[in-house]
Amino acid sequence: MHVNHRSFLRRRLARSGTAVAAGVAALMLTVAAGSAGANVQVQEPTSAQTVSFDGWNLSVNQTDQSITSVPPLSGNQFTRDLFASGRALATVSGNGTAPFTGGVLEVGYQIGYQADVSNGAVITGNAGITPGAVYIPERSENLILTADPNIPPVVELFTGEALELGVETPIEGNISTQIAPGTIATVPVQKKECKSTQCAITLRNIHLEVNHALGSVSVRSYAIFTASTDVADDVVVSYGPPVIV
């Protein structure tokens, strides 16, 4: 009996919550454990404070931050395989002129890289190039990030349907590689509604995979806290130290 291993793999990816990423400079986000041969970079705690329009003292603290770089499972020299951890704590204190009604805490990472080699295949001679798309109709926790202006930067983080884009090329023809400028991508990881004057988010071994990146790759964490009253919203942001991987 013939077994379609490719279809089976797609089904497993979609069901397990592993991101299926595609397009230009794809970045995948999953939750997984660490690997051998890791390079662990521990970051110093960071914080940000402000006084809101209503007179509340707002603060965001980032602690226990680390970025662990491991050899990519694919063995691809243009791939970075990372595991990130950290904790963000938002606090509201003092006495404001309007009651504090709640807030939102969001954490994530900013990824920057020098050059993008994913635009990849330029076919010359008698050959052509045919883009193909495969839709996987099973719910998955996925992030699709692309520099293609025709594709939204983020597609349904944690809630969308798996989508895989591919390219089919004829046998004949010459293939060369295009190199495009790099970019900075903001990748939200988790968001929490804060119903009290203190709330926190803890990340443990969040898997970040950057594909098609030429040159150095930098990673910086962020924590955004939005505090609300009936009168105003105030936003305070803390950034972690950049890490080159």
Asked if residue 26 belongs to a domain, the reply is no
68 shares its domain with 101 = yes
110 shares its domain with 136 = no
Most confident residue range from 4-13, 111-120, 137-146, 169-178: 111-120
Instruction: Note down the domain range covering 204.
Output: 32-117+178-245
Number of independent structural domains in the chain = 2
Tens-place pLDDT, residues 36-64: 567 999 999 999 999 999 999 999 999 99
64 shares its domain with 131 = no
Judge contact between 14 and 140, C-beta under 8 A. yes
**Phi, then psi, of 129 in degrees rounded to 5:** -135, 135
| Across 63-88, average pLDDT | 93
Q: Global pTM? A: 0.64
With 0-12 / 13-18 / 19 or more C-beta atoms within 10 angstroms meaning exposed / middle / buried, residue 52 is: buried
Q: Indicate which CATH number applies to the domain containing 65.
A: 2.60.40.1650
pLDDT at 73 over 90: no
Instruction: Kindly give, in sequence order, each residue whose CB lies less than 8 Å from that of residue 75, ignoring residues fewer than 6 positions away.
Output: none
Report which of residues 144 and 114 the model is more confident about. Answer: 114
Amino acid at 67: I
